[in-house]
């Protein structure tokens, strides 16, 4: 088994602008962990690699939002799902030397689930590797994040100053100015953006706010609390867009629900 095994940590966050991309990154990493050749990159040919690709490897366990009776994904990943992971993680792997748990959309774990995950990450069972996928890692508890190695997609990393990032910046500057009327005017001016551009703007907003929370970007004087609230609001907007809510409604929401601080940092 992997000669470089000890170089693999026990917890990672894979963040990308889309859930699909973050899961693709995590899956590739899982393949590397489980590959029989144990190289820096998965060989892609061994039985383990092929099983990961076909999503039938018994030691790669994927956790995702459960479905309700109507087959719709629930809003959150709940604590029972993480408890089940905790129980399973103490059982020896079937075929590989490790067990890999891929948590899709880990930033949708509710607070109880995140606390259960934290306990798991604090005392990880031997040989278990946890891969948390996220489009908005700022929604994860700082204590969870601090226990993970964070990997961002190249796409998110090099995001050029595209239109969507520019718009997110304009919005945040309007928020930082603390002037509701100005913010509302700005929001009204964006109402005619099409669904796609609105989605891109919201995704860019999530990334920019995450960067600000991690001090990778100037926070424009916004408080952590404000940034966290904006991150939550942006995630809600993302949810609404996924069920085809129109741009007009999204910008209306931003105009009204954006927290405007008193200008004090806190």
Determine the angle formed by the axes of helices 247-257 and 224-242, rounding to 10 degrees: 160
57 vs 108, beta carbon nearer Zn ion: 57
Q: How far is the CB of 223 from Zn ion (least distance, A)?
A: 47
Q: How far is the CB of 96 from Zn ion (least distance, A)?
A: 11
Q: How far is the CB of 49 from Zn ion (least distance, A)?
A: 3
Q: Which residues are CB-neighbours of 164 under 8 A, at least 6 positions away?
A: 197, 200, 201, 203, 204
Q: How far is the CB of 116 from Zn ion (least distance, A)?
A: 32
Q: How far is the CB of 41 from Zn ion (least distance, A)?
A: 9
57 vs 147, beta carbon nearer Zn ion: 57
Size of the site for Zn ion (CB under 5 A): 5
64 vs 99, beta carbon nearer Zn ion: 99
32-61 residues near Zn ion, rule: CB under 5 A: 35, 37, 43, 46, 49
33 vs 183, beta carbon nearer Zn ion: 33
Q: In angstroms, rounded to a whole number, what is the distance separating the alpha carbons of residues 90 and 128? A: 8
**Structural contact between residues 168 and 208, judged by C-beta atoms closer than 8 angstroms:** yes
Q: List the 99-103 sheet strands across, edge first.
A: 60-63, 99-103, 128-134, 11-15, 149-152
Residue 39 sits at the vertex; the CA angle it makes with 18 and 47, to the nearest 5 degrees, is 80
Q: Which residues are CB-neighbours of 185 under 8 A, at least 6 positions away?
A: none
50 vs 248, beta carbon nearer Zn ion: 50
Q: In angstroms, rounded to a whole number, what is the distance separating the alpha carbons of residues 9 and 255? A: 42
Residue 144's closest CA among 189, 177, 107?
107
Per-residue mark of binding to Zn ion, 142-161 (x: CB under 5 A)? --------------------
43 vs 184, beta carbon nearer Zn ion: 43
Rg (CA), the chain: 20
Which residue is listed with tokens 């393949």? 31
Q: How far is the CB of 47 from Zn ion (least distance, A)?
A: 8
Binding site for Zn ion (CB under 5 A): 35, 37, 43, 46, 49
């Amino acid at each position: 088994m992997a000669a470089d095994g000890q170089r693999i940590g026990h917890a990672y966050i894979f963040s990308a602008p889309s859930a699909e991309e973050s899961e693709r990154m995590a899956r590739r990493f899982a393949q590397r962990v489980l590959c029989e050749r144990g190289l820096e990159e998965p060989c892609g040919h061994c039985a383990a690699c092929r099983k990961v690709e076909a999503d039938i490897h018994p030691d790669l366990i994927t956790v995702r939002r459960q479905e309700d009776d109507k087959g719709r994904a629930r809003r959150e990943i709940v604590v029972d799902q993480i408890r089940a992971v905790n129980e399973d993680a103490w059982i020896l792997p079937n075929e590989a030397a490790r067990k890999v748990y891929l948590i899709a959309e880990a930033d949708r774990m509710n607070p109880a689930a995140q606390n259960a995950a934290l306990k798991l990450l604090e005392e990880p069972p031997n040989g278990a590797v946890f891969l948390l996928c996220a489009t908005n890692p700022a929604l994860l508890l700082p204590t969870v994040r601090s226990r993970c190695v964070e990997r961002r997609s190249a796409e998110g990393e090099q995001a050029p100053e595209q239109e969507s990032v520019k718009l997110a910046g304009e919005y945040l500057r309007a928020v930082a100015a603390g002037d509701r009327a100005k913010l509302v005017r700005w929001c009204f001016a964006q109402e005619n953006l099409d669904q796609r551009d609105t989605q891109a703007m919201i995704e860019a907003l999530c990334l920019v706010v995450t960067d600000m929370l991690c001090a990778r970007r100037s926070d424009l004087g916004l408080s952590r609390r404000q940034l966290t609230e904006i991150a939550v609001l942006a995630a809600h907007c993302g949810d609404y867009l996924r069920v085809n809510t129109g741009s007009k409604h999204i910008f209306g929401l931003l105009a009204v629900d954006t927290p405007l601080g008193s200008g004090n940092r806190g």
